Amino acid sequence: MKKVTLNDIAKKVGVSKTLVSLVVNGKARGYGISGQTCDKVMAAVRAYGYNPNQTARSLRTGMSNTLGLIVSDISNNFYASLARQLEDLAWELGYNMIIGSTDESVGKELKLLEIFRNRQVDGIILSSSQQNPTELENLVKSGFPLVLIDRYFPTVPIPSAVVNNKVGGELLAQHLLNQGFRNPVVLSLTPSYISSVAERVEGFVSVFENAAIHTEVHNIPFLCLVDMVEDFFTTRLHDKNMPDAVFAVNNNLATATLRACHVHNIVIPKDIALVCFDELPYFDFSKPSITSIRQPVAELCSVAFSLLQGQITNNGETKPGHVEMMPVELLVRESSTQISDNNGWRSP
Amino acid sequence: MKKVTLNDIAKKVGVSKTLVSLVVNGKARGYGISGQTCDKVMAAVRAYGYNPNQTARSLRTGMSNTLGLIVSDISNNFYASLARQLEDLAWELGYNMIIGSTDESVGKELKLLEIFRNRQVDGIILSSSQQNPTELENLVKSGFPLVLIDRYFPTVPIPSAVVNNKVGGELLAQHLLNQGFRNPVVLSLTPSYISSVAERVEGFVSVFENAAIHTEVHNIPFLCLVDMVEDFFTTRLHDKNMPDAVFAVNNNLATATLRACHVHNIVIPKDIALVCFDELPYFDFSKPSITSIRQPVAELCSVAFSLLQGQITNNGETKPGHVEMMPVELLVRESSTQISDNNGWRSP
DNA sequence: CTGAAAGCGCTTACAG
DNA sequence: CTGAAAGCGCTTACAG
C-alpha cells in the first residue's frame, strides 16, 4: 500500500513535479498557470487521492506546522483545558499540537524540549518546572519561538502569558480575614519556587502578615499529594492543632483537601474554611460550594498563542521579555463564609 | 542559528556521514566500528551539540516515532486521563503523542486522520464519532496501525479496546431497581449511535424492561449539554413529571445534572436518584457521594497500546477484528440509596 | 506558462 | 572497519 506521491501525479498528468506542487499549494495564480492545467492536475489529485507528505515538506521548508505543548500533567483539569483551547487556536491556523507531561521533572522537561525541537516544531508553549532556566533563555536568544504559560521567570526575559497570582492570593487572604479567620494554613506544592505557586503563597501570606498574623506554609510533594494532604490533617487532628482555614494553592490540592476532610469528618466551613486557586466544574454546586480564584483560561491561551505567533512570523517588534499578566477573579462561596445553620453549610 | 547537522560532524571529525550516523544510532557494534572512532565521533557530537533532525530521519525511514490520539474532547476528564496514560506508555517506547479533538464531528475526525497520516504518524489511537466507518476499515485493511479506544464497531473488524458498557448499564439499572426506583430517565448523548453510549443505554433499558418498566431516553446534543440538561429539568418540574432516578451516561452529563439539580433545588437522592458512568475525582466525597461506574482506564490504555504496538511491529498474528472488552466496576454511593435523615443525604 | 535541477538531513544497501 | 552514492518526497530558485 504505497502512498501516492507528487511524482506519481506528475507522471499521470504528464507534467512536471514543479507544476503539481505549485497547483497543490494554491500558487498556480501567482505563477500564471493556466486554468486548464490546474484542472487537469486537481482532477488527478482527487482521482488518485494524493496527499502531500508533510514530513518531506517539513524537511524542505523547515516548517512543520506543529506546535509543542509541555505541562506538568495533561490530565490535570487546568492543563487539559489549556491544551484544548490551544489546540483549537492552533487548528485555526493549520497547526497540530504535540504534547508532553513532565510531572514537574526538570530532566524530562529538558528532554521534551530537545525532542520537540529535533522534530522541527515551529514553536513551543511551556509551563516550566525549572528554577534557573538558562537553556530556555538561550533558546529564546537563538530566536526559537518559545512562550511560557502559567509560570514565568520574573528576572529572565522570555515571552510569557500568566495570571496575576499574587493578587489572587491577596484576594483570598483578605476575604478570609474579613470573614474572621485568624489561623490559616497554606497547602502549597513542591517545588515551591515555581512562580505561580510562589506568588500565590506570597500574596496570601503578606496580607495576613499585615494583620500581624503568621501563616504556616506546608509544601506537599507533587507526586504523593493525596496521601500527604490526608496525613497533614491526621497529624493536626491528633495534635489538636487545627487551622481555622486552609488555602489550597491549586485544584489538585483543593480536591485532596476536600477528600481528607471527608475522611476525617471535618465539616467545611463549620470546622474549617477552604479557599483555593483554580476553578473546577463542581465548585459552584458542591455542598458546600467552594470559594476559589478563577483564572481566565481562554484569555491566557489566546495571549500565549499570539505571543507565539508573533515570534513565528516575526511580525511587529520582538520583545523577548514581554510578560502579559492577566487579572483573576475571586468567587466567594460557602466554603469560606460563616455559617447559618446546623448542617455545616448553608441551605441552597 | 543553524542547527548542527550530521554532515557538520562528519567534516569536523574527518569521517563519512555513514560512520557518524552508525555511531549516533548505536549501530557501531554491529558494523565493527573501532572504539577509537566511536569515541572521536561521540566527542564531536557532544562538543557541537549535535541532535539528529527527526524530520529527515522520518522521511528516510518512513517512521516518525509519533502516535496520534483522536478523541472528542481532550479537556474531558476521561479523555485527558486516557491521554496521559497513553503518553506515558508511548514515552517508554520513544514515541511522542500528537492529539486532536473532534467535538464529535465526523468531518473533523476524518480530517485529523488524514493530517496525522500525512505527518507519517506510526499509528493512531482513535475514539471515533463515526457511524459507518468505511474509511477506517480501509485504513486497517491497508495495514495502517489503528486501534479504537472507548468506542468500537461491533460489525467492523478493527482492533479495539473498550469496556463492557452494556454490563455497566445493567449494573446501574439493577441497583436502582433493587433500591426501589421505578421511574428512571436516561440522559444520553447525541450522536446516540456511538457504541459506548448506545450500549450503556441498552443495558440499562433492558434491565428495566425485564421488570416491565419503560425507560425514557433523552438525547442531549454534545455541544450545549449544560443548558439542555437544565432545560430538561425545568420542563419536567413545570410539567410535574419528574423521574425518580436519572442515569447520566457520562461524566459531563453527571456534572450537568448535579448543576441542574442545584439550580432547581432538587435534592439528591431525596427527590431524585442519580447514577452515572465515569468516575470523577469528587464523586467519592461529594455530598451526596455519587454512584458511578468506574472504567479501568489504565488497563484500557495498556491494552489499546499493545494492540497498536502489535500492528506497528507486526509481531504475532494480526487479528484485525480483535476486540478487547474490559469489565467495569459499580461503585454504590449515597446518590442512589434510600435516605436515612432529613437532609436529603446520609450523614458521613 | 512550464520543466530540469538542486537540496533539505538523514539512512542504508553496496563496494572495497 | 570505512566511504561514496542513492534516495525518502517535497519546494524553490532558475532558466527558458
DSSP notation for B65-106 = SEEEEEES-TTSHHHHHHHHHHHHHHHHTT-EEEEEE-TT-H
What phi and psi values does residue B102 have, to the nearest 5 degrees? -105, -15
Question: Residue B32: which CATH number?
Answer: 1.10.260.40
Please enumerate in sequence order all residues whose Cβ is within 8 A of that of B180, keeping only pairs 6 or more positions apart, or say none. Answer: B338
B150 near B300, Cβ under 8 Å? yes
Residues B73 and B46 in one domain: no
Q: List the CATH number of the domain containing A241.
A: 3.40.50.2300
**One domain for residues B283 and B137:** no
**CA pair distance B28, B7, nearest whole angstrom:** 18
- If asked whether residues B177 and B152 sit together in one domain, one would say no
C-alpha cell at B190: 447525541
Assess whether pLDDT exceeds 90 at residue B344: no
Is residue A230, in this structure, part of any structural domain at all?
A: yes
Which tens digit of pLDDT belongs to each residue from A261-311?
A: 999 999 999 999 999 999 999 999 999 999 999 999 999 999 999 999 999
Domain identity same for A223 and A316: no
For the CA of B312 and the C1' of C7, the distance in angstroms is 31
> What is the per-residue pLDDT for B136?
95
Across residues A16-30, what is the average pLDDT? 87
Q: Are residues A125 and A183 in the same domain?
A: no
Spell out the alpha helix ranges (H) of A179-224: 195-210
pLDDT at res. A36: 83
Tell me which H or E stretch contains A216: strand A216-221
**Structure confidence at residue B233 as a pLDDT band (50, 70, 90):** very high
Condensed to tens digits (0 to 9), the pLDDT of residues A26-45 reads 888 777 788 888 888 999 99
- Asked whether residue A339's C-beta has any atom of DNA/RNA strand C within 7 A, the reply is no
- Is the pLDDT reported for residue B64 higher than 70? yes
CB-closest option in A77, A87, A348 to B101: A87
Q: Are A316 and A287 in contact (CB under 8 A)?
A: no
| B90 lies in some domain | yes
**For position B317, what pLDDT does the model report?**
56
Rounded CA separation A239/A220 (Å): 19
Q: Is B25 part of the contact surface with chain A (CB cutoff 8 Å)?
A: no
User: How many domains are contained in chain A?
Assistant: 3
CB of A270 within 8 Å of a chain B CB? The answer is no
End-to-end CA distance of chain A: 63
pLDDT in tens, B203-214: 999 999 999 999
**What whole-number distance in Å separates Cα of residue A183 and Cα of residue B96?**
46
Residue A89 domain-assigned (yes or no): yes
Mean pLDDT confidence for A171-177: 97
Same domain, B135 and B181: no
Neighbouring-strand partners of residue A330? A293
Same domain, B126 and B173: no
| pLDDT confidence of residue B339 | 56
Contacts of B343 (CB under 8 A, 6+ apart): A343
Residue nearest to nucleotide C12 (CA to C1'): B18
B138 and B82 fall within a common domain: yes
Domain match, B213 and B223 both:
yes
Q: Please check the confidence at residue A341 and state whether its pLDDT lies above 90.
A: no
Question: Is the pLDDT assigned to residue B340 strictly greater than 60?
Answer: no
Protein contacts on strand C: list nucleotides below 7 Å from a Cβ: 1-14
Report the pLDDT value the prediction gives residue A317, as an integer from 0 to 100: 56
Inside any domain, residue A59: no
Q: How far apart are CA A147 and CA A44, in angstroms?
A: 42
Which residue do the cell numbers 449515597 mark?
A: B334
> Is any atom of nucleic acid chain D found less than 7 Å from the CB of residue B60?
yes
**Same domain, residue pair B150 and B183:** no
Chain A residue closest to B114 (CA)? Answer: A51
Which one-letter amino acid corresponds to residue A304?
Answer: A
- Which of A233, A249, A236, A134 shows the shortest CA–CA distance to A192? A249
**Please, what is the Cα angle at B267 between B170 and B207, to 5 degrees?**
15
* Residue A284 and residue A179 share a domain: yes
Q: What is the pLDDT of residue B37?
A: 84
> Is the pLDDT at B160 greater than 50, yes or no?
yes
Whether B342 is in a domain gets the answer: no
Q: What cell does A282 get?
A: 463542581
What pLDDT score was predicted for residue B283? 97
> Are the Cβ atoms of B55 and A55 closer than 8 angstroms?
yes
Residues 29-68 of B with CB under 7 A from strand C: 50-53, 56-57, 59-61
User: Of A278, A274, A276, whose CA–CA distance to A295 is shortest?
Assistant: A278
A333 in a domain, yes or no?
no
Same domain, yes or no: B268 and B307: no
Q: How confident is the prediction for chain B on average, in pLDDT?
A: 92
Q: Rounded to 5 degrees, what are φ and ψ at A239?
A: -80, 0
Domain-located, residue A158: yes
Spatial contact of A309 and A93, defined as CB atoms under 8 Å apart: yes
Q: What band does B345 get if pLDDT is binned at 50, 70 and 90?
A: very low
CA–C1' gap, A20 and C2, in angstroms: 11
Neighbours of A22 (CB within 10 A): 19
Q: Is the pLDDT of residue A209 over 60?
A: yes
Which of B143, B262, B281 comes nearest A285 by C-beta? B262
Q: How many Cβ atoms sit within 10 Å of the Cβ of residue B109?
A: 25
pLDDT, averaged across chain A = 92
Least confident stretch, A139-143, A286-290, B164-168:
A139-143
Domain assignment of residue A81, yes or no = yes
Phi, psi (degrees; rounded to nearest 5) at B280: -105, 155
User: Could you identify the residue written with the cell 486548464?
Assistant: A36
- Using the predicted structure, report yes or no on whether residue A154 has a pLDDT greater than 90: yes
- Structural domain including A211 reads 165-290
